[in-house]
Amino acid sequence: MTSLAAHLLPRPAIEQEVARIRLAIDAGEAGGSRQDAEQLLARAAPADQAVVLNALAHLHGANADVLAFARVAAQARSVAQAHGDVASEAEAILHGGQALQLIEDHAAAIKVFEEAEQLATRNDLRKLEPRIWRRLGISASIIGRHAQAVDMLERSVQACAALGGGADWFAARNSLLNAHNRRIDATLSGADLVEAYRPFLPLWDALATEALAAGAARISAVARGNYAIAQRYVEDYEGALDTLAVVLRQYQTFTMRANIAITFNEMGTVHFRLRRYADALAAHQNALWHLEDGSKREQRDAYAGISQAHEMMGDALAALGALKKVRTLEAELTDQAAREAAERRELLLSVKQYSDQWEKLAKEDSLTGLPNRRALEQWLQSALSRATVAQPTTLLLIDVDHFKQVNDRFGHAIGDRTLHQLAGLMRQNCRYADFPARYGGEEFVLALPQTDLATGIDVAQRFSHSVSAFYWEGIQPGLAVTISVGVASTAELAAPCRSEALIAAADNRLYVAKNDGRNRVVSTG
């Protein structure tokens, strides 16, 4: 009989497959990617599943499936936290913010992105930081926080460049230029707006050219389209038409019907400005042809352009017919807007349940149910501010002896059960005022307020005995568990005692305990 472990892929193979799946998603191959991700999930060890879940979340995000995006992101975060996978946890938080972006709750999204940023910065996750900053910048720009948006997006551009450029670099540059343009639109008008747009023309041009040369054709097409809009703003109408013709060919290559329609409408607008009414009419009619099942808003704009062109060409009847279409679409858009608002509220409530999970997960270890490291840091900050020489706080830093061997010998499922049971034993050995927490991996903390070092040592020894005396064979035959403990007290340290100093002292003593043979309590050194 073949063991389950024999079917599991090692972490490097998992990461390689995830990278391939992500590339396929970005190339628009969604169907096969989902099947591949689900099959890969079945072959990933529990500690590696968050990596795959994040890829699956990425797929749902690309498909704008908001609820699935939020649900899988929350699941990825839970699994990542359970196994101390900080990089996957930070990415899952990023995905959670993106789900909020999709339902246009940008204020909430910013809070989630800021949490992801803090986690990434604290753990030196340099590859993830630029993506977080870009998302932060996009949401900040949309809600009018222009200075914050530009700052975040400039950081993203610089960080992406330092990491070697690539698609993320082009995407960040595109978002930065959009943020600048959005700021201009919000603050300027008339001739001032036109002049403000001029410096951005070569920037859009450079971005489109460089992205295309690097193989980022979709980003190039979007940037080139924005370049054309900037040309229209500065009244370079002939140049805008030339650019739009290039953009149109790029969108046709990708069969991006909605983008093609938008481009034709833009061409119609420019032709109208040039008083080429027949050309404007043809362009808007081409837009309609590509919008049979598309956006009503773009259909409305197309019919509006058609009506104006007919009017200027002296065909009042045709102009009136097109105008009636505009009125019908306006009414449908009003109804659609109401429906979309209701749907958005429903989505918001649905996503909020996952947001609530994210907030809870931010302070709770999903595997053990204990407070996590961040919750511990917050608790210590408060407790140490109240600690005195007469009423010190004592901290136990606990490590499961030879835990890697437990995973290697019995599998990760038994390893998880072991940690869960250890958390239960911790609770049993706690007073109400004590603070048990999972510090990370197989390390735990038990913080004891108003407790001197001698009492802390007694607690540690009792806990150590309860762990070694527990019937671990009931979980798995052959399983035996012991712990090593380092004990430190604020009374030993210089005032004011910071949490970092207290943890460091306990960690040094834990190191001694492990170095001296494990399964012991050390309170000096």
Cα–Cα distance measured from residue 492 to residue 523, given in angstroms and rounded to the nearest whole number: 11
Beta-carbon contacts of 62 under 8 Å, excluding residues fewer than 6 positions away, are 25, 26, 30
- Does the pLDDT of residue 6 top 60, yes or no? no
82's CB contacts (< 8 A; 6+ apart) are: 46, 365, 366, 367, 416
For position 357, what pLDDT does the model report?
A: 58
User: What average pLDDT score do residues 519-525 get?
Assistant: 92
For residue 358, is pLDDT > 70? no
Q: What is the pLDDT of residues 267-301, one digit of tens each?
A: 999 999 999 999 999 999 999 988 765 678 889 99
Predicted pLDDT of residue 156: 96
Q: Which of 201, 208, 127, 128 is nearest to 170 (CA)?
A: 208
Sequence-distant contacts of 502-508: CB under 8 A, at least 24 apart: 502/380, 502/384, 502/393, 502/395, 503/380, 503/395, 503/397, 503/445, 506/395, 506/396, 506/397, 507/397
Q: Decide if pLDDT at 225 tops 90.
A: yes
Prior bond of 12 cis (ω within 30°): no
Q: What is the pLDDT of residues 75-104, one digit of tens each?
A: 888 888 778 888 999 999 999 899 888 888
Q: Reduced to 3 states, what is the DSSP secondary structure of residue 292? A: coil
- Write the DSSP symbol of residue 10: P
Average pLDDT, the chain: 88
At 317, is the pLDDT very low, low, confident or very high (cuts 50, 70, 90)? very high
Least confident of 57-66, 180-189, 427-436: 57-66
Chain CA centroid to CA 379, Å: 27
Q: Which residue has the tokens 């108003």?
A: 450
Predicted local distance difference test score (pLDDT) of residue 515 = 93
pLDDT at 1: 36
Task: Identify the residue with better confidence: 286 or 218.
Answer: 286
Nearest Cα to Cα of residue 429 among 461, 453, 406: 461
What's phi and psi for 435, nearest 5 deg?
-130, 100
Helix H or strand E encompassing 522: strand 521-522
What is the rounded distance in angstroms from the CA atom of residue 228 to the CA atom of residue 479? 68
Angstrom distance (rounded) from CA 160 to CA 314: 54
d(CA 240, CA 427): 69
* pLDDT at residue 390, rounded to an integer: 80
Percent of the chain scoring above 70 in pLDDT: 92
- pLDDT tens by residue, 373-425: 888 988 998 888 888 878 899 999 999 999 999 999 999 889 999 999 999 99
Distances (CA, A) of 507 to 306, 383, 455, 511: 74, 19, 19, 6
CA distances from 265 to 182, 307, 512 (A): 21, 13, 73
Q: How confident is the model at residue 30 (pLDDT cuts 50, 70, 90)?
A: low
Contact 438, 370 (CB under 8 A): yes
Say which residue, 351 or 226, is predicted with more confidence.
Answer: 226
Per-residue pLDDT tens digits for 480-493: 999 999 999 999 98
Domains, the chain, ranges and CATH?
373-522 (3.30.70.270)
More confident residue, 345 or 108: 108
pLDDT value for 2: 40
Confidence (pLDDT) at 480: 95
Provide mean pLDDT across the span 230-251. 94
Q: d(Cα 225, Cα 247) in Å, to the nearest integer?
A: 6
For range 172-176, the mean pLDDT: 96
| Chain-centre distance for alpha carbon 357 | 15
| pLDDT of 354 over the 90 cut | no
pLDDT at 4: 39
